[in-house]
A = this chain, B = another copy of it.
Amino acid sequence: MIVPSTLRSCLRAHGRPISTGRFQLPPTIRQILSSPEVGETVAVTGWVKSIRKQKRIAFGVLSDGSSAVGLQAVFLEGLGERVKEITNGTSIRVRGSIVKSPGAGQDKELHVEEVEILGTCPPDTYPIQKQALTPEYLRDNTHLRARTDAISAMVRLRGLLMRKLDRYFERQDFAYAHTPVLTSGDAEGGGEAFRITPIPPSSERPPQTEERDFFARPAYLTVSHQLHLEALSTALTRVYTLSPCFRAERGVTRRHLAEFWMLEAEWGVARTDDPRTQTAALCDFVEGVVKSVVGDPAIIRGQDVDVLWRHREHDSVPEAERQKRREALVSAVTSDAPWPKMSYSDAIRELLKSDQKWTFPVRWGSALQSEHEKWLCETLVGGPLFVTDYPAGIKPFYMRANSPAPGEEEVTVGCFDLLVPQVGELAGGSVREERLDVLKASMESKGMNMDGERYGWYGDLRRFGGAPHVGFGLGFERLVGWVGGIENVRECIPMPRWAGRMVL
């Protein structure tokens, strides 16, 4: 486990003091490629992405998944027999020296002096062939699909986004909170929660009543961490989480998964008697999160995002249009210009003024449908758009009521949806109703009882030192899809689950 001295100095130069010795793993291909120096002898393990054999010499590309770019390897004379066995997908360990590459397209390459075959890969049956594979085929081979360029880039991008998000929330002094996946709540009455039962997995008989009572009450998989985050926010003020959520939605679309990840945050704010001002500040904060994280050159100008946008095998969008979309994305996340905000009432007015033919009627008091959101954001504004202050009747019980404003037929609430091109709703949030009596009335109007066992605790958060607070949720797979130009959310998570389908 010896780290070559040039790598050590390189890693130090990149601000990462590297501890040597028994705790340190050897350098990855990414680390080797990002080192400025040549001449070192290194040993690397990886999978052969391609190999071209000539009489005395062979040229290959080796990937260990640490980087979007593989390591060019020249197999020198004398390795003869071993090299014959190497095919695409073979796992090998090579030792050799890093030299300046004479070829175009790479700075350096590895001159292989020793090669060891760790795992062969039968070329006839290997599921990940060189030719283009459909997304559907790769979903059926989920266990191997991270060996493709696009899926491995997506997995790395997720990790990178997660890290940048955490750094951002840390700077804003948020605590990361582990809120529960198992919950006694039934999805705010949404009716699409999974319920859990502890039964022996080998049993084929239906669950018995007593077995369902593991927790002495029904238990569900959470559809949102918001209410539990609110409880922690009532003590720690600023909390956030990036956690799995679950929805038993039977509708199969390119935007929905049964298991998905959400970034959710809650924080206390100064009192304001005008939630509209708070909502505007909330939108600003969310814009800051997305711009700081996605706009970071390591992401938006990074190799993984580049691989994802250039991955076009099964994309129905023409190249010119795709290029336009990518430029619009870069501009949206790197520009200093604030993203526009528009009230729901103004959005309805704009929709009514347009000469579009709508499948769903446009009417104040109805939810905005995908076609409406798409038009507002892609056609009217041409970029990210905050729509704010929706009618109370189409939003959940916990949103804070606004005072009336012109153009509003009924009560509206201090909330927003963030719409982005191609994806639709990327994030949504609101000022939370902090007034006990108003909250109680709002819950009753939706058939919920704040004094009952199920929601009594939520009322307590207001009863005892209740404080004004706001929060939002952001769909992590949708963020990945937007940033990487990925059409279907199933290619935005390593192992997707949706109605009717779960491999592995």
Interface set of A (CB-CB < 8 Å, partner B): 1, 16, 18-19, 22-25, 27-28, 30-31, 43, 45-48, 64-66, 89-91, 93, 116, 118-122, 125-128, 142-144, 146-147, 151-152, 155-156, 158-159, 162-163, 166, 170-173, 175-187, 189, 191-202, 206-207, 209, 212, 214-221, 227-228, 231-232, 234-238, 243-244, 246, 248, 250, 258-259, 261, 267-271, 281, 284-285, 287-288, 291-292, 338, 434, 457-458, 460-468, 493-495, 497, 499-504
Out of B127, B258, B285, which one reaches A464, CB within 8 Å? B127
Out of B28, B193, B198, B237, which one reaches A46, CB within 8 Å? B237
| Smallest Cβ-Cβ distance to A161: which chain B residue | B176
A65 / chain B contacts, CB cutoff of 8 Å: 175, 235-238
| Smallest Cβ-Cβ distance to A233: which chain B residue | B65
Task: Evaluate contact between A238 and B500: CB separation under 8 angstroms.
Answer: no
Measured between C-beta atoms, what is the minimum distance from A263 to chain B in Å?
A: 12
A144 / chain B contacts, CB cutoff of 8 Å: 231, 234-235, 460-461, 464
| Smallest Cβ-Cβ distance to A260: which chain B residue | B178
A221 / chain B contacts, CB cutoff of 8 Å: 181, 196
- A-B contacts, 16 of them at CB < 8 A, read A90-B465, A119-B462, A122-B464, A155-B177, A159-B176, A163-B166, A163-B176, A178-B244, A183-B504, A191-B200, A193-B201, A198-B248, A206-B207, A215-B502, A228-B494, A244-B244
Task: Evaluate contact between B503 and A173: CB separation under 8 angstroms.
Answer: no
Measured between C-beta atoms, what is the minimum distance from A231 to chain B in Å?
A: 4
Please, how many angstroms separate the alpha-carbon atoms of A346 and B378 in the complex?
69
A125 / chain B contacts, CB cutoff of 8 Å: 463-464
Task: Evaluate contact between B465 and A47: CB separation under 8 angstroms.
Answer: yes
A187 / chain B contacts, CB cutoff of 8 Å: 201
Task: Evaluate contact between A176 and B201: CB separation under 8 angstroms.
Answer: no
Out of B122, B146, B191, B504, which one reaches A463, CB within 8 Å? B122
Task: Evaluate contact between B24 and A172: CB separation under 8 angstroms.
Answer: yes
* Extra pairs beyond A146-B235, A156-B175, A184-B503 (10, CB < 8 Å): A1-B281, A23-B292, A28-B238, A64-B236, A66-B236, A91-B467, A180-B497, A182-B258, A183-B502, A206-B209
A231 / chain B contacts, CB cutoff of 8 Å: 142-144, 146, 495, 504
| Smallest Cβ-Cβ distance to A65: which chain B residue | B236
Task: Evaluate contact between A196 and B198: CB separation under 8 angstroms.
Answer: no
Task: Evaluate contact between B25 and A467: CB separation under 8 angstroms.
Answer: no
Please, how many angstroms separate the alpha-carbon atoms of A117 and B197 in the complex?
45
Out of B158, B179, B182, B270, which one reaches A494, CB within 8 Å? B179
Please, how many angstroms separate the alpha-carbon atoms of A30 and B228 in the complex?
23
Measured between C-beta atoms, what is the minimum distance from A221 to chain B in Å?
A: 7
Task: Evaluate contact between A119 and B25: CB separation under 8 angstroms.
Answer: no
Task: Evaluate contact between A89 and B464: CB separation under 8 angstroms.
Answer: yes
Task: Evaluate contact between B236 and A31: CB separation under 8 angstroms.
Answer: no
A219 / chain B contacts, CB cutoff of 8 Å: 502
Please, how many angstroms separate the alpha-carbon atoms of A151 and B495 in the complex?
35
Interface centre among A31, A89, A151, A194 (most CB of B within 10 A): A194
Measured between C-beta atoms, what is the minimum distance from A92 to chain B in Å?
A: 9
Measured between C-beta atoms, what is the minimum distance from A62 to chain B in Å?
A: 11
Measured between C-beta atoms, what is the minimum distance from A192 to chain B in Å?
A: 8
Task: Evaluate contact between A248 and B214: CB separation under 8 angstroms.
Answer: yes
Task: Evaluate contact between A181 and B244: CB separation under 8 angstroms.
Answer: yes
A30 / chain B contacts, CB cutoff of 8 Å: 173
